[in-house]
Amino acid sequence: MASSTGRRWRRSSVSARSAVSAVSALLIGTCWLGCLSVALGACVAPDSSTSPPPATMTTSATITWTPVGLPAGHSPVTLTAYQGGVLVGTRASQSPEAPESTGAPGLVALTSSGPIALPVIAASPYGEEATWLSIEATREGGLVAVGGARGGAHSNVRWSVWRGDGSGLREQEQVFSTFGGWGAGEQLGVIPTDAGPMLLGSWESKGAGLDADIWLPVGREWIRQDPQGTPLASTSTLLVGPRAGAARGPAAVVVGSVVDLGDGVAQRPAAWVSRDGNDGWESVDMPGSRGEALNVGCGTRDCLVVGVSADRLAAWRLTGNRSDAVVGLPDFTIADGASMPPPQAIEDGWLVVAPSDQRTRAMVVTASGVVREVPPPPGKITTIRTFQGTWYAVTTDPGGRTALWSAAVTLQR
């Protein structure tokens, strides 16, 4: 999804890793030859509408993180670029002193005149308690969101789906069997393809384990599709483990892992690409040894997949239905159970968030493999977005308190 940014709830799956930890920052950029210097910032290419600068021209950027205030009682959870601005999915508490784990789902628009709280109207008791998993903008100017709240005898996540626009969000109440029941897996987020929005999740397989599943809207109802006969379905020898997805024009990209039971038990990174919406799914071979793809972001030219290979940080560029491993990344271990927000396209580069031994690691990696570290905002980044030269990040401090930060990236030639 251009994003899958909300809080993750994981139940047991074929994947050896689960999305539970907040993370630190890593910037991966591919720049023009003229992008030669970086000063505490990212390697940023010139506007794609113009020709690349000559090799003698230097380009630099600076980053200064500034806290962004929200209306009283709102704690940031997700970020969405939307029609000339940024929307912040929040937890809205009636009391500013109440724990951030309590409250209702909220939505705040960041405007030139300040933050404005937008209406969020629930239709069910669990919707009133939901925490945002994903809020995405559609090509038609709408919003699709997924939230979750734990409840019931087994404290399973009760998922809710929401539609709206720049005026707010309203829950589309679904029957229990839409997201719940004996075969239920989890929701992973919204994929807003140009062919129409879809929900990505998992469900009990007819073959073995869980399948990667897609839900499509039919009126106000969201209908789960049958993945049998497609690479999204698990078999008795190959178990599919989806982790995240993104839109690439009319197509969808899903990443995760497969566990091969044919010769021992081996987990390897995996990706699946559709031709149009939920049609024409194909598997993409991912270079690397055992591991898992944790997230994906797509730009106008290609996608970047991030994850783990042999317990180390890994990334793959996905062009069409072909993937190539990114070389020159810093060599450090990714802990089991780590999560990574979706990479963000920065002109000709990528902004990526990755965990590193519980420390904040922010750096630029150019196409030639040169690495330059840059300062992140305070705390652990849980999600990050870029919009018109400004970067926004949600962080969590050791006490569990969240904060919103922005950094304007200024180019100098």
Q: What is the DSSP string of 157-222?
A: EEEEEEEEETTEEEE----GGGT-STTEEEEEEEEEETTEEEEEEEEE-SSSSEEEEEEEEETTEE
Whether the per-residue pLDDT at 93 is higher than 90: the answer is: no
Dist CA 165 CA 192 (whole Å): 14
Section 245-254 average pLDDT: 96
DSSP characters over 275-334: SBTTBS-EEE---SSSEEEEEEEE-SS-EEEEEEETTEEEEEEEETTEEEEPPS----BP
Say which range, 43-47, 294-298, 393-397, has the weakest mean pLDDT. Answer: 43-47
Neighbouring-strand partners of residue 95:
none
Residue 337 is predicted with a pLDDT of: 82
Return the percentage of the chain with pLDDT > 90, whole number.
50
CA torsion 326→7→266→261, rounded to 10°? -140
- Give the tokens for residue 320: 């069409």
Q: Which amino acid, residue 274? A: S
Residue 384 and residue 341 in contact, taking contact as beta carbons nearer than 8 Å: yes
Whether the per-residue pLDDT at 411 is higher than 80: the answer is: no
Section 283-302 average pLDDT: 89
- The segment with the largest mean pLDDT, out of 58-72, 284-298, 335-349, is 284-298
Whether the per-residue pLDDT at 201 is higher than 90: the answer is: yes
Dist CA 88 CA 107 (whole Å): 6
Whether the per-residue pLDDT at 12 is higher than 70: the answer is: no
Residue 359 is predicted with a pLDDT of: 62
| Other beta carbons within 10 Å of 325 | 15
- Residue matched to tokens 């992140």: 376
Residue 389 is predicted with a pLDDT of: 83
Model confidence at 297, pLDDT cuts 50, 70, 90, reads very high
Residue 49 is predicted with a pLDDT of: 32
Please indicate whether residue 338 or residue 48 has the higher confidence score (pLDDT).
Answer: 338
Model confidence at 274, pLDDT cuts 50, 70, 90, reads very high
Residue pLDDT, tens place only, 395-407: 988 888 999 999 8
Residue 125 is predicted with a pLDDT of: 94
Section 116-126 average pLDDT: 96
- Of 24, 30, 55, the closest CA to residue 299 belongs to 30
For residue 341, give the 3-state DSSP assignment. coil
DSSP characters over 47-116: PTTSPPPPTT---EEE---EE---STTEEEEEEEEETTEEEEEEEE-SSTTS-TTSSEEEEEEEETTEEE
Neighbouring-strand partners of residue 379:
none
pTM confidence score: 0.82
| Residue 84: partners with Cβ closer than 8 Å, 6 or more residues away | none
Whether the per-residue pLDDT at 23 is higher than 60: the answer is: no
Dist CA 268 CA 296 (whole Å): 16
- Residue matched to tokens 């397989």: 205
Residue pLDDT, tens place only, 335-377: 888 888 898 887 667 887 887 766 666 655 455 555 566 678 8
Residue pLDDT, tens place only, 145-184: 999 998 776 668 899 999 999 999 999 999 999 998 888 8
For residue 385, give the 3-state DSSP assignment. strand
Please indicate whether residue 250 or residue 368 has the higher confidence score (pLDDT).
Answer: 250
Model confidence at 24, pLDDT cuts 50, 70, 90, reads very low
Say which range, 278-287, 325-334, 365-374, has the weakest mean pLDDT. Answer: 365-374
Residue 137: CA atoms inside 13 Å, Cβ hemisphere, count? Answer: 18
Dist CA 251 CA 209 (whole Å): 26
What's the chain's average pLDDT?
Answer: 80
- Of 132, 137, 181, 182, the closest CA to residue 161 belongs to 132
